[in-house]
Amino acid sequence: MTERPAFGFETLQIHAGARPDPATGARQTPIYQTTGYVFRDADHAAALFNLQEVGFIYSRLTNPTIAVLQERIATLEGGVGAVCCSSGHAAQLMALFPLMAPGRNVVASTRLYGGTLTQFSQTIKRFGWSATFVDFDDTDAVKAAINDDTRAVFCESISNPGGYVTDIPVIAEIADAAGVPLIVDNTTATPYLCNPIAQGASLVVHSTTKYLTGNGTVTGGCVVDSGKFNWSASDKFPSLSQPEPAYHGLKFHETFGELAFTFHGIAIGLRDLGMTMNPQAAHYTLMGIETLSLRMQRHVENAQEVAQWLEADPRVEYVTYAGLESSPYNARAKALYPKGAGALFTFAVKGGYDACVKLVDSLELFSHVANLGDTRSLIIHSASTTHRQLSEEQQIAAGAAPNVVRLSIGIETAADLIADLDLALTTATA
Ligand SMILES: *Cc1c(COP(=O)(O)O)cnc(C)c1O
């Protein structure tokens, strides 16, 4: 052999971005618990502040531990660069910020994490931005929703809470034809099950709080750039293509090429919005990612087993898992998510809202928690919690109807999870 073949996912999840610490040789990435970095001299400081030289200035912008995490996630997602931040919701704002302006809109799927629906339908209005929600299975509706003020299209790969799978290539083509980037929230699939960039997405966002960290310890977020979107093809993205007044007239796209979005995220986004990840969180997330493939394989195996058992149970009305043959999304899941349809799905309990509340209270192994992507199995009744702010119509559109509970299947012994559900269903539907 004269040339090493490209590394596989399992190798990259452990090694990408990391190298022995240049100061000490430490093999594991140290936690650089520092806010500032000593400049070599005044010229070095000036070059860093002018973005003429890449280096560490201040931990609101850059930190060596976080830099390793950024490189690792960018590599696993097949992007050119990534910017980590304090939470998944921060990542969504960081992704939209360079694209949007007062009067501009994002066209978003109706099937989103409840908090994202609230962020997009309520909070971003304060910036003068708006969101138009459409069913992303209705491609004509997606096309019709895009207008001259649209600056991004947004969806989740495997959508929360129902576990529906999005046809990313089809949506990417629509966004492309309209000259706007497709942003995919890949939190619930992770780069192990889905690579949105390979399927045509321009940007990927993550809540690293979930599967990437994997054990419910820290919050974090990440924006990954494919490097493929041409920000200068139209006058729609002046923050990237035109002189940026918040950076003494620097033109990000002209200066940084395919890294424009990443540099903008650090030099403007983190600098001025300040939604910075801390190095401790980056450490926990780096630890988690080392075992991502192993955990996801087990998450998916367990989810398939639990979903099949639930579907056959007479106390259950329906199960939404796309890995089930009965799911209308099964063919799409097999084609686009061949390693599995994730570990997040909902099921409807006969007995409605009251039975759901009783079920949640009767489970012992499943924790009633507003989180997902943990090693532990989790359950939530979305209608009375995460999707509570929505009308019943919006709840149903989001897949969080009052008679539905959401499961995030962990990596425990599958038979134990089934026994826990069995006993609790008996109590809930008595
Ligand atoms: C949790 C979650 C978010 C928000 O992430 P935080 O880290 O909680 O801010 C966004 N999208 C999806 C799909 C999520 O599951």
Q: Is 187 in the pocket of ligand 1 (CB under 6 A)?
A: yes
Q: Is 88 in the pocket of ligand 1 (CB under 6 A)?
A: yes
Backbone angles phi, psi at 369, to 5 degrees: -145, 140
| Structural domains for the chain | 9-288 (3.40.640.10), 292-428 (3.90.1150.10)
Residue nearest to atom 2 of ligand 1 (CA): 207
What's the token pair of residue 178?
A: 């309209």
**Residue-level pLDDT at 54:** 84
Q: What is the pLDDT of residues 260-295, one digit of tens each?
A: 999 999 999 999 999 999 999 999 999 999 999 999
Whether 160 is in the pocket of ligand 1, judged by its Cβ within 6 Å, is yes
Say yes or no to pLDDT of 1 above 80.
Answer: no
| Contact 156 CB / ligand 1 (< 6 Å) | yes
For the cut 80, the answer to whether the pLDDT of residue 311 exceeds it is yes
pLDDT tens readout for residues 320-376: 999 999 999 999 999 999 999 999 999 999 988 899 999 999 999 999 988 899 999
Sheet containing strand 150-156, strands side by side: 81-85, 221-225, 203-207, 182-185, 150-156, 105-109, 130-134
Residue 61 and residue 207: Cα distance in Å, rounded? 19
